[in-house]
Structure 1
Amino acid sequence: MRLSELAYETIEPDPQIDGLTADSRAVSRGFLFAALPGVQADGASYIPQAEENGAAAILALPGVTSKLPVIVDAEPRRRLAQLAARFYPRQPEVVAGITGTNGKTSTARFAAQLWTLLGCEAGSIGTLGAQSRVYERALAHTTPDPVTLHETMDAMTRAGVTHLAMEVSSHGLAQHRADGVHFRVAAFTNITQDHLDYHPTFEDYFNAKGRLFTDLLASNGTAAINMDGEGAEAVVELARLRGLPTVQTGWNGRDVKLLSCEPHMSGLALELECGGYVYRADPPLIGAFQAENALLAAGIVIAAGAKGADVMMQLANIEGAPGRMEFVAEIAGGGVYVDYAHTPDAVGTALKAIRPHAPGRVIAILGAGGDRDRTKRPLMGAAAKANADIVMVTDDNPRTEDPASIRAEILKGCPDAKEIGDRGEAIAAGVAMLDEGDVLLILGKGHEAGQQVGDQVFPFDDASVARDAVADRMKELG
């Protein structure tokens, strides 16, 4: 593709463009290098390296110069997303974007499963990577950089995917990563405190998520909103101001309404109303809050054109996402679960949700990530103290921070908690505490298969470590 065709500008000289990247180290001959301004470094300073590596053109802010042809744009991040969408032009027929603090991964997975059950070739993009029956790819971020995102969407479409549920993070929205995506549906889960290490205020955090509805959702699109989530009414107003229809779900929903939710040891017994009819479903989901995610997923599929009755008939067949209230082992009439909860609200919600599944005590293990929002740490500890019978504080991904200092900040919210820094030892100790009917909930890392200490990532999987600890305990018990 010629640069002028890619940029929709008359440019001389007009080189052939064979690839796009914002990483000067990844530049090959014929690539366009996007010199993006960053928090820690300015991409313009890497233009000489990109030129040396064979770049054919540059995308940059006004005032940046190069010996190569330059596309000048005051919003180079947004322009890169637009260029990536043009360079990798294929997108699934239906793309649903899902934003919110908690529940994005489960909702995306549920929506993809429902579409698949209805006969569509569906997939999801998010924290767990790009996944479908016909295409899989590991991804580094919940919402990938625009080049990776559009390359992935193009590949999924070529593989046959027609319906895609995509997580859209506040970082991705603030950095315009998804600006080239044609969203047919935009969905909202909830908004609670998170990422205030990146967003200067909570208002800025909400406004970033709001871009999915104000800027990116197609003018003929539909908003699907979990009306039980904090911030739901504000999102309804965003849709109203654009004249967009909404599908409202949950206990307070209008279109897919939850009438009852009875947790039991193996799932949830749901009663719901849709289109004037009452339906019952018993999906194998752990935690009542998963009912909100399941109903929002149903709302997404309905917003995209499916019949409500058809969707309701498939709700019983969806399965939980890895690392999201995932049952990993049974022991002493109770069990061990792992969950990705890493915000105060998510910790409290997960522990409240597991309580009905626990005939005995609820034991919680949690930590907090280093180099992230510090203000939420004591709040996470307080949420654990308020909702668990026993709390153990351990390390999560300390990254470059002192692990003991992170634990100390969590312990401010739960001073009576037991502190065990080594995560493996903490899990073993939690399993050893389990008596008849007790439940152990290991929070924070969910599906993650590694633990980041400093600049190194060591293999560590909560579910696998817990299974080993249970096996050892069973041997001891004979």
Structure 2
Amino acid sequence: MKKFPDFNDLCTQLNAVKNTSGNINESPENAVECSGLSLNSQDEIKGKIFIAIPGSSADGREYIQQASDAGACAVICEAKGLTEQQSNILSLLDIPWICVDDLVLQLAKLADYFYDYPAKKLKLVGVTGTNGKTSVCQLTADIISRITGQCGQMGTLGNGLAGKLKTSMNTTSDVLTIRRTFAEVAERKAGHLIMEVSSHALHQGRVAGLQFDVVVLTNLSRDHLDYHHSLESYAQVKRSLFTDYAAKYAVLNKDDEFARTLIQDNSIQARKIVYSIADKTEVMAEKNRADGMNNSKEQSYPYEEVIASQLKILPAGQQFLLQTPWGEAEINIPLLGQFNLSNVLAVVSILGCLNFSWENIVSEIHNIAAVPGRMEVFIEKNRPVVVVDYAHTPDALLKALTALRTHCQGKLWCVFGCGGDRDSGKRALMAAVAEKTADEIIVTDDNPRFEDGDSIIKDILTGIKHKDHTRVIRDRYQAIAEAIASADTGDTILIAGKGHEDYQLVAGKTLPFSDRDVVKEILKEAA
């Protein structure tokens, strides 16, 4: 087993000269060896150091005894706000422990030291944005894996080596999991890691201390306002990835309004690579000029461009001319929707920034495939086309439906719901998008969580003015089955909101459920 620093050695790395208390065995021959760090007492914690800090929903210090009983080798605990009962539990432990002020601010430093500074062994790419993070990360990681043999990946689909991901509960994991994953990926000789960086992670300091080689913004629209409270606050948190992390390159979507403010932001010192779809760029040219942007080499906001032009919509994909600082090529991709084309341009930009050869980039983009649960198409003979997508914001739903309209020969159906205990303000907005863009709508459950499902449906329906073509079927399986049974050959059905997820969160329970599996099952039965 790999040799990690012992507990005494680890404690010396903490800014704990003052206001520190604890039971540390300072005898070298009795130093406590440890196999890992953990924030969760319910993890496999035997032989690991339990890090006990207050969280947003639970206080880790309440689980110190549980961690000790489960075999934790030591405890590092937040000192501020420690209750008398928690202090008593610590004093009775038969394992070493230490209390430290502002422990959460030292977690990154602690984890870096423990795992031998694994980020320095990798080229890191951080992707943020309301929509598209997962697709950009997955596509990039898959391509780098094919070129180099290995690539690390962290995000919605899981953590680890691309193609061998372990399930993750959050888009961006906690500080300790990030460093541990970096170490595991580096140990397997991968030289790159692509990770999704959520607004929550930026705000909570989960990526603190990381130095990215490339940072990427896909787009920004309404999401997570239950947490950030305003779109302005949400945007400022996203901006911090580009101002606070000393990246070498900033890849920005010129077709996005917020990204254009970053292009003009001279406080961002990274070299800027800007991608866009030519027809969109032309539509916005006047606005760009009004904003002070131009394409002159003498411009105040210098950047290099990656552009898709001469776009042709094909029955099962898109064709375009790709123009970049590294070369030009005619490209065909089997992906639907201009937002997927935008994602591909982000991928090309990342690969160029990482110095992959133009020949490799062009070859691999031609071989690109859809990400599971991201505009994933399911086809059976004499049945409607069914598309499963993760769209769970008004903007993402609009883009998905608009993209499908260009490929749809008959009616366009939309099956969707909204998550419970999340931004309720977007529910009516998503309904309005569905009514405006789809021909037939079925409103169903998404992940109700602890919220009443009927209440969620009621909020959604307030956004629909004319309900003649709207049905409510709360059971998601039945909603999908009804759509497939009712639609004609030539129709297209979008199943939106859950994408790759293989579960449904209902009243505190995690129930097995996969839109993708349900669609395949029903289409196979109907064939």
TM-score calculated relative to the size of structure 2: 0.82
Residue 44 (structure 2) pairs with residue 56 (structure 1): no
Q: Secondary structure in 1 aligned to 2:213?
A: strand
Q: Which consecutive unaligned segments of at least 5 residues does structure 1 have?
A: none
Pairing partner for 1:36 from 36, 53, 62: 53
Deviations 1:170-192 (A, max 9, x none): 11222222224342111111111
Q: Residue 366 and residue 113 in structure 1: after superposition, are their counterparts in 2 closer, same or farther (change >3 A)?
A: same
What amino acid is aligned across from residue 168 of structure 1 in structure 2?
V
Q: Which consecutive unaligned segments of at least 5 residues does structure 2 have?
A: 18-23, 282-302
Offset at residue 342 of structure 1 (A): 0.4
Structure 2 matches for 1:204-223, cutoff 5 A? 204-218=233-247, 221-223=248-250
Which piece of structure 1 moves more, 10-19 or 436-445? 10-19
Residue 187 (structure 2) pairs with residue 161 (structure 1): no
Offset at residue 300 of structure 1 (A): 1.1
Structure 2 matches for 1:63-462, cutoff 5 A? 64=82, 67=91, 69-70=97-98, 72-74=100-102, 76-89=103-116, 90-91=118-119, 92-119=121-148, 121-130=150-159, 132=161, 135-218=164-247, 221-238=248-265, 240-251=266-277, 252=281, 254-275=304-325, 277-308=327-358, 310-332=360-382, 334-415=384-465, 416=467, 417-462=470-515
Separation in 1, partners of 2:264, 2:101: 32
Partner of 1:8: 13
Q: Residue 199 and residue 285 in structure 1: after superposition, are their counterparts in 2 closer, same or farther (change >3 A)?
A: same
Which piece of structure 1 moves more, 101-110 or 271-280? 271-280
What amino acid is aligned across from residue 2 of structure 1 in structure 2?
D
Deviations 1:94-144 (A, max 9, x none): 110101110000000111123234335223211111253574322121111
Separation in 1, partners of 2:196, 2:419: 21
What amino acid is aligned across from residue 444 of structure 1 in structure 2?
G
Separation in 1, partners of 2:46, 2:155: 31
- 8 Å Cα contact 2:50-2:76 kept in structure 1: yes
Partner of 2:40: 23
Which piece of structure 1 moves more, 363-372 or 55-64? 55-64
- 8 Å Cα contact 1:135-1:156 kept in structure 2: no
Offset at residue 263 of structure 1 (A): 2.6
Q: Residue 436 and residue 328 in structure 1: after superposition, are their counterparts in 2 closer, same or farther (change >3 A)?
A: closer
Partner of 2:291: none
Which piece of structure 1 moves more, 194-203 or 317-326? 194-203
Q: Residue 102 and residue 42 in structure 1: after superposition, are their counterparts in 2 closer, same or farther (change >3 A)?
A: same
- Superposition misfits of 4+ residues, deviation over 6 angstroms: none
Which piece of structure 1 moves more, 110-119 or 242-251? 110-119
What amino acid is aligned across from residue 39 of structure 2 in structure 1?
A
Identical columns (%)? 36
Offset at residue 197 of structure 1 (A): 1.6
Q: Secondary structure in 1 aligned to 2:37?
A: strand
Separation in 2, partners of 1:39, 1:63: 14
Q: Secondary structure in 2 aligned to 1:446?
A: coil
- 8 Å Cα contact 1:27-1:33 kept in structure 2: no
Q: Secondary structure in 2 aligned to 1:371?
A: coil
Offset at residue 50 of structure 1 (A): 4.8
Which piece of structure 1 moves more, 129-138 or 312-321? 129-138
Separation in 1, partners of 2:207, 2:161: 20
- 8 Å Cα contact 1:56-1:69 kept in structure 2: yes
Separation in 2, partners of 1:290, 1:203: 26
Separation in 2, partners of 1:279, 1:116: 22
Separation in 1, partners of 2:171, 2:229: 21
Offset at residue 152 of structure 1 (A): 1.9
Separation in 2, partners of 1:4, 1:231: 47
Which structure's CA Rg is the greater one? Answer: 2
Q: Residue 144 and residue 381 in structure 1: after superposition, are their counterparts in 2 closer, same or farther (change >3 A)?
A: same
Separation in 2, partners of 1:466, 1:363: 14
TM-score calculated relative to the size of structure 1: 0.90
Which piece of structure 1 moves more, 138-147 or 388-397? 138-147
- 8 Å Cα contact 1:395-1:422 kept in structure 2: yes
Q: Secondary structure in 1 aligned to 2:518?
A: helix
Separation in 2, partners of 1:248, 1:81: 31
